[in-house]
Structure 1
Amino acid sequence: MTTTIKNLFKLKSTQVESLQEQVPKTEVKHNEESAEESRKRTYHESGYRDSSRNNGNHTTLIICLDAVYSKFQNEEKELVEKQQKLKESYINEQKNRETEIKALTVSLENKEDLLKIKHDEVEEFQRKNEVLKAEINDLPRNPEKHNVKATRGASTKFWIGFILLIPISLYLFTFYISTSYSAFFRNFDPNSTIIRNVLDAQALSKAWNDGPLEGAFITLIPFVFLGLGFLIHMFGENKSWINYVKLGLLFIVTFIFDAILAYEIESKLYLLNKTFESPDFNLSIAFTKNQFWGIIFAGFIVYIIWGLVFDFVMKEHREKDKIKNEQEIRQKNVLFNLEKINALKKEIEDIKNLIGNIKENMIKAKGRIEELQNIIDGVIIPTKDYKLYASEYVQGWVTFIGEKIAVSKSEKQTMIDSCIETYTTNLEMVGANSENQNSVYLSVL
């Protein structure tokens, strides 16, 4: 029978035989036994005794094993040093988790401070952009307010001058094309009026009909006067006596050229009305003619007006450019600030994600601390140890069946098999299966 029990439980044969011999009569001195051996013997004896009371009934064994587990649980609870040792790893983990939470809390505070700084930077850049946009709109009206040395209303003055410059330029083109053609190439008609002889509406086409040289000369001569007007503006920009001398020479040259045109035209008009008694046309006669001075002033005075208007337009354009340049500088700063804002917003999103991860880790760590605290506050049941003592209990139970139950061998084997099955079921219920025999079973009492 001993061999059968040994095979069923896979126990050492010497241990089973020793227990079978000790159940009826135990005469071992307690001072010669270790605490563990004494405890194992106690469970074995309890199993033998409970089996004797219940005739080895496996159904009753289920209830008895529950009671054994409760007893084992209470015993483990009373083993303070052992509980402390079992809980040591959980206590250490709890401390590590608490340290982790402190580190996460510091990190969270740093990230939140950094997040606030980034938000403040975004608000600062947005405020700067609002100021810059307001300055862009206000610059044309109040440039001096924004430390820009430009004339107020330069844009309006520029466009007024530019609009006036167009008809004056067209007038000069018409005047110099017509008077130059009349002075150098045209044959006057005695039957035409003075105005028609001086100003010819078809002067440009007639000059090109006369030849390319005549056409090019008449077409390009107005640009000479416009160029002289541009030089007046350029010399007037730099205030120096040399430029003033050059400016005076330009006026004299222009006046002389206009006088030549007037003299040529007036001489042709004089010849139309000349008689045998009339003296030859000369400069003194030209000075007495109203047409002579009219042609000069119709060209020269308008030319001066054109030069002054052109100079005014260029100055206003320069003032307008100052404002425009300042507006462009501010617009570039706005775009730069927008890039900064977008970069900061991306950083803010990254920081928010990190904060979310930190909070999630803190929640997990706090949850784990609560779990660990429940373990520490509860009783840790070493299932490997329980399996050892439960097996001792069942060995005692089965030993009684093998020694004292007077039934046939097959029936006895059936009873033993049922007890073994009950024992295995109990181990599964309390989590002491063979796969996790080194795990612990937690029970909060």
Structure 2
Amino acid sequence: MDTSNIKNLFRLKPAPAEPAQEALPKAEANPDDESFEESRRRTYHESGYRDSSRTSGNHSTLSICLDAVYSKFQNEEKEMVEKQQKLKESYVNEQKNRETEIKALTVSQETREEQLKTKNTEIENHQHTIENLKAEILDLPRNPEKYNVKAGRGASAKFWIGTILLIPITLYLATFYISTSYSAFFKSFDAKSTVIQSVLDANAWMKAWNDGFIEVAFVTLIPFVFLGLGFLIHMFGENKTKINYIKLTLLFIVTFIFDAILAYEIESKLYELNKIFESPPFDLKIAFTKIQFWGIIFAGFVVYVIWGLVFDFIMKEHREKDRIKNEQEIRQKKVEFFQEKINTLKKEIEEIIANIGNTKEVIIKTRGRIEELQNIIDGVIIPTKDYKLYASEYVQGWITFIGEKIAVSKTEKQTMIDSCIDTYNTNLETVGANSDNQNLVYLSSL
């Protein structure tokens, strides 16, 4: 507010016809009533005029008088119960809203705490389940029947024993069929060759290598034919149906015939080497009478059958072992599943704890605000813009006396008025009722 406006605000008013009484309006009067407000303003104006007359308009004394005016204004506002209730209504409503907010926050906190307990219980249950599963994984190989797993104990030992037996039998079959196939189809016999040398040639593979690619490939791969036949015997034997039994019988017949062909070729070469002029041509009837013929067949066929039986036993033991292993893998996957659930629950627990912490902080801040609001409600609300109005009336009365009754030069009189205006502005700044903050509410706990 500039100086000209202030001077217009404090323009001189006529002195009252009679001195006003110092009694202020009664608190029971309605502050909204125009006659009450007008009477109150006139009272402050007259008080200013009277106090100025007592101090000859001294601006230093004005500062003390304005402090007293402010105290009187506070007391007046305190006694205006209805006005105070109206001024405090917004704070009372806010306090109620804050209390409702705390109730909602408390319920939310209790809900989260219950969730926290539930999730901690779930973690404990999952951890207990994991411990049981790990114990079952360790105990399964020893007691499979305890967990309704149809697998014999010690299957692993039988499996390895069968495997150890199968390796030398496989090597025997490979050696036998490499030698016999080379002797039957590629070898040239001489008079010095014995039966054993004719059947089992120690250098059969090297001779086949020297003879050519076809020869070495044939004698190298032919053992796998018999091993494949043995594998098929196992596969057909797994499902015990009539068709599979027929297939098994045909496989045995085919294997026997193949061994018979090898024996026949070898025996035929030996017969042709040793026959005389009167000897009849070699045929099956003659072959069946030769011990070497049957020796070659059974040295291959019987061992092949033994290989098939051992292989079948190993596969069954492996299947037994797989049942235990599969059950262990199933339990291990369950362990991983529950561990993932535990990790997820721990993350959720961290979020819940963080939310509980935030809720507690909000509750503490809200309770602090409720206390602040209670202090406001218990105290006295001083509407500073109203004080400024009545203080200006008081100062107007003060300056009116100076203008009318102080007998000094115009310049000195104006200096006194300016000093009073400065004192007035200082007082407004002190009580927080300056022109920049006219709508602020000043609190005073009396």
Give the TM-score normalised by structure 2.
0.86
Aligned residue type for 1:203:
A
Say whether the 8 Å CA contact 1:23–1:45 is kept in structure 2: no
Kept after mapping to 2: 8 A contact 1:161/1:309: yes
The worse-fitting range, judged by mean Cα deviation, of 104-113 and 213-222 is 213-222
* Contact 2:10–2:396 under 8 Å retained in 1: no
Report how far residue 61 of structure 1 moved.
1.5
Residue 360 in structure 1 maps to residue 361 in structure 2: yes
Q: CA deviation at 1:225?
A: 1.7
Structure 1 residue 48 and structure 2 residue 49: aligned? yes
How do 1:194-273 and structure 2 match up within 5 A?
194-269=195-270
Q: How does 1:17-166 map to 2 (within 5 A)?
A: 17-18=13-14, 20-22=15-17, 34-166=35-167
More deviation, 251-260/421-430: 251-260
Superposed counterparts of 1:311-326, under 5 Å: 311-326=312-327
Report the counterpart of residue 380 of structure 1 in structure 2.
Answer: 381
CA distance in 1, matches of 2:79, 2:169: 117
Question: Once structures 1 and 2 are overlaid, which stretch shifts more, 162-171 or 361-370?
Answer: 162-171
For each residue in 1:202-238, what CA deviation from the matched residue of structure 2 results, as whole angstroms up to 9, or x when unmatched? 2123235445544443333222321221222122112
Deviation of the 1:181 alpha carbon: 1.8
- Cα distance change on mapping 1:299 and 1:6 into 2, 3 Å: closer
* Amino acid aligned to 2:222: I
| Larger mean Cα displacement after TM superposition, 208-217 or 350-359 | 208-217
Cα displacement string for residues 319-351 of structure 1 (whole angstroms, at most 9, x for unaligned residues) = 333333334433443444344334333333333
Shift of 1:10: 3.1
The residue aligned with 2:372 is 371
Shift of 1:302: 1.4
Alignment CA distance shift 1:298-1:22 (3 Å): farther
Question: Partners in 1 of 2:8 and 2:341 — Cα distance?
Answer: 76
CA separation in 2, counterparts of 1:201 and 1:134? 55
Superposed CA deviations along residues 141-173 of structure 1, whole A, max 9, x for unmatched, are 433333333333434433433343232212101
- Three-state SS of the structure 2 residue aligned to 1:421 is helix
Runs of at least 5 residues in structure 1 that lack an aligned partner in the other structure: none
Q: Secondary structure at the match of 1:187?
A: coil
Q: In structure 2, what is the Cα distance between the partners aligned to 1:165 and 1:6?
A: 121
Q: Which moved more, 1:98-107 or 1:151-160?
A: 151-160
* 2:390 is the alignment partner of 1:392: no
Contact 2:20 2:46 in 1 (8 A): no
1:371-426 Cα deviation digits (max 9, x unpaired):
00000111111111111121122122222222222222211211111111111111
Distance between the aligned counterparts of 1:183 and 1:114, measured in 2? 83
Q: Percent identity?
A: 77
Which amino acid in 1 is paired with 2:8?
Answer: K
Deviates more, 1:412-421 or 1:245-254: 245-254
- Indicate the residue corresponding to 1:11 in structure 2: 9
The 8 Å contact of residues 10 and 399 in structure 2, kept in 1 or not, is answered as no
Query: What is the number of equivalent residue pairs in this alignment?
Result: 435
Cα shift readout 1:284-312 (whole Å, capped 9, x = no counterpart): 77667654444333222211111011111
Equivalent residue letter for 1:376: I
> 2: CA distance between counterparts of 1:210 and 1:25?
148
Secondary structure in 2 matching 1:406: coil
SS, match of residue 200 in structure 1: coil
- Bigger mean CA deviation after superposition, 290-299 or 302-311: 290-299
State the distance in 1 between where 2:337 and 2:377 align: 59
Q: Distance in 2 between matches of 1:348 and 1:7?
A: 66
Q: Which moved more, 1:265-274 or 1:155-164?
A: 265-274
The alpha carbon displacement at 1:109 in A equals: 1.6
SS in 2 for 1:150: coil
Report SS of the residue matched to 1:441: strand
Q: CA deviation at 1:25?
A: 7.9
RMSD, matched Cα? 3.2
Matching residue's letter, 1:219: T
Q: Cα offset for 1:253?
A: 3.8
5+ long unaligned stretches in structure 2: none
Output the amino acid matched with 2:174: F
Cα 1:7/1:191, change in 2 over 3 Å: closer
Amino acid at match of 2:395: V
Q: Does 1:296 align with 2:265?
A: no
Distance, in Å, in 1 between the alignment partners of 2:35 and 2:251 is 131
> Cα–Cα, structure 1 residues 7 and 291, in superposed 2: closer, same or farther, change >3 Å?
closer
Mapped partners of 1:223, 1:82: distance in 2: 111
Q: Which residue identity lines up with residue 420 of structure 2 in the other structure?
A: C
The match for 1:416 is: 417
Question: What amino acid is aligned across from residue 392 of structure 2 in structure 1?
Answer: S
Following superposition, the deviation at residue 362 of structure 1 comes to: 1.5
Q: What corresponds to 1:178 in structure 2?
A: 179
Change in 2 beyond 3 A, CA 1:49/1:79:
same
What is the TM-score normalised by the length of structure 1?
A: 0.86
Alpha-carbon distance between aligned partners in 2 of 1:355 and 1:33, rounded to the nearest angstrom: 54
Amino acid at match of 1:229: G
